[in-house]
Structure 1
Amino acid sequence: MSSAKVDMKVVLLGSSYTGKSCLVNRFVNETFDEKIQETVGAAFSAKTIDIGNEQQMVLGVWDTAGQERFESMSKMYYRKSNAAILCYDVTQKESFDKLKFWAKQLNENEPSCRIYVTATKVDLLEVGQKRAVTLETVEDYAETIEASIFETSAKKNFNVNELFLKIAKDFNKINKINKIHKNENENMKKKKTKKLNLNEEKRKKHCCK
């Protein structure tokens, strides 16, 4: 486990064999291994990325197990996540259907967590395998849960870095907006306090006449 200070927490959720671990391995280690060991429970890794304007961000990434026997444990891993990558195998409809389960779990338990619906193994489409779910269907569903969508291939290194960069930039943008709102609220409170103090001073002067 990395000792780096993490700026944001990202969790990967989805069925077994949807390529979650390969996606993380490609992003963090810039490698691909078809025989990567299946995740048991969850695995943590961290990586620093450049998000532009000489800014960097450390992403803490939790890769969770997809087996049903670990589902009850997953809540402890996606707790307080800032972003969730919901993975489905582009050639397996069952994995897309299962993705809806995780979206529901996040909506109920971590409603502020941003969701990124992510198709994996799109390289399989190049060798003749068919889409299990149309892109239009995915887009329509993503709209209902206000999620971004990505299509990726860890094997071909397609759209992997772009996915994580988008997640980091979205989080950074939200943070900036929240800080602006916080400063505005603090300024309003200061103005109200100042006004109350002035009114109090006026009352005191009037009483002393």
Structure 2
Amino acid sequence: MDDSFKNEVLFKILVIGDFGVGKTSIIRRYAEGTFSPKYKITIGADFAIKRLDWDEDLRINLQLWDIAGHERFGSLTSVYYRYAVGAAIVFDLTRPETFESVTKWLNDLKDKISLPKGQNLPVILLANKADITTGSLPQDLTMFCKQHNIKCWHLTSAKENINIAKAMNILVQSALENYHNNGHIDSDAVKIHEDQTKNNKKRCSQCSR
């Protein structure tokens, strides 16, 4: 770990949406820079780590939680959502019904997550698989996001690496603003070390099998 950073923090980010919309592929592209066309169902939840050297004083370690989209795992979301500071909701441009589920996921977040001082959980919307089609966008996504207090929406493609980092940076910036507003930037409770991150990932992988 580079000791020149004055603060190092851990943010838990949720990536949610119906099954098969590309959540795992988005996380792998963003965290690892890789893409695989092979689909493998997520059982419960899994997560990856992405480290951001945000500025010369702050390093942000993101836990990107990949939450299963199948209905049979819905009762577990309250456990997986705990301590999250932001969420990306993903839908599949080739499957219109997955956009219809976005409000369900939003309501699930509102029911199960509350932030200190009454802030809204930062949420972004990802219209995924833009490499396959660009002609099936739902009407007026900008108005939809405004009505549902969503920060922004982006066309994304994990395969072609389109807009994923851009969208995630907006989400992290919003989470960081909430974090500063809560006066936590100097709290030892949010500082971490790399060996702790590795241990956490190992435990999670074991419990989610």
Category of TM-score, reference length = shorter chain: 0.7 to 0.9
Which among 163, 167, 170 is matched to residue 167 of structure 2? 163
SS at match of 1:124: coil
- Are 2:130 and 1:122 equivalent residues in the alignment? yes
Q: CA deviation at 1:89?
A: 0.6
Which among 119, 124, 136 is matched to residue 131 of structure 1? 136
Q: CA deviation at 1:55?
A: 2.7
Residue matched to 1:174: 178
Residue matched to 2:158: 154
- Are 2:23 and 1:43 equivalent residues in the alignment? no
Residue pairs, 1:101-120, within 5 angstroms: 101-112=104-115, 113-120=121-128
State the alpha-carbon separation in 1 of the partners of residues 17 and 78 from structure 2.
13
1:21-54 Cα shifts (integer Å, max 9, x gaps): 0000101110000104221111111111122345
| Contact map agreement 2:81 2:112 (CA 8 A) in 1 | no
Q: CA deviation at 1:154?
A: 0.4
| Contact map agreement 1:85 1:117 (CA 8 A) in 2 | yes
| Closer/same/farther in 2, CA of residues 31 and 103 from structure 1, 3 Å limit | same
Residue matched to 1:187: none
Residue matched to 1:185: none
Residue matched to 1:66: 69
| Contact map agreement 2:126 2:156 (CA 8 A) in 1 | yes
Name the aligned partner's letter for residue 46 of structure 2.
A
1:104-147 Cα shifts (integer Å, max 9, x gaps): 11112214322111111111125xxx31513x1x2222112211
Residue matched to 1:81: 84
Q: Which has the larger radius of gyration?
A: 1
Name the aligned partner's letter for residue 92 of structure 2.
D
Given the two structures, how large is their TM-score scaled by the length of structure 1?
0.75
State the alpha-carbon separation in 2 of the partners of residues 169 and 53 from structure 1.
16
| Contact map agreement 2:21 2:90 (CA 8 A) in 1 | yes
Residue matched to 1:11: 14
Q: CA deviation at 1:58?
A: 0.4
Q: CA deviation at 1:68?
A: 1.1
State the alpha-carbon separation in 1 of the partners of residues 48 and 86 from structure 2.
15
State the alpha-carbon separation in 1 of the partners of residues 70 and 43 from structure 2.
9
- Are 2:34 and 1:26 equivalent residues in the alignment? no
| Closer/same/farther in 2, CA of residues 158 and 54 from structure 1, 3 Å limit | farther
SS at match of 1:18: coil
Can you give the 5+ residue segments of structure 1 that lack an aligned partner in the other structure? 181-209
State the alpha-carbon separation in 1 of the partners of residues 76 and 183 from structure 2.
33
| Contact map agreement 1:51 1:168 (CA 8 A) in 2 | no
SS at match of 2:106: helix
State the alpha-carbon separation in 2 of the partners of residues 22 and 6 from structure 1.
25
Can you give the 5+ residue segments of structure 2 that lack an aligned partner in the other structure? 1-7, 116-120, 185-209
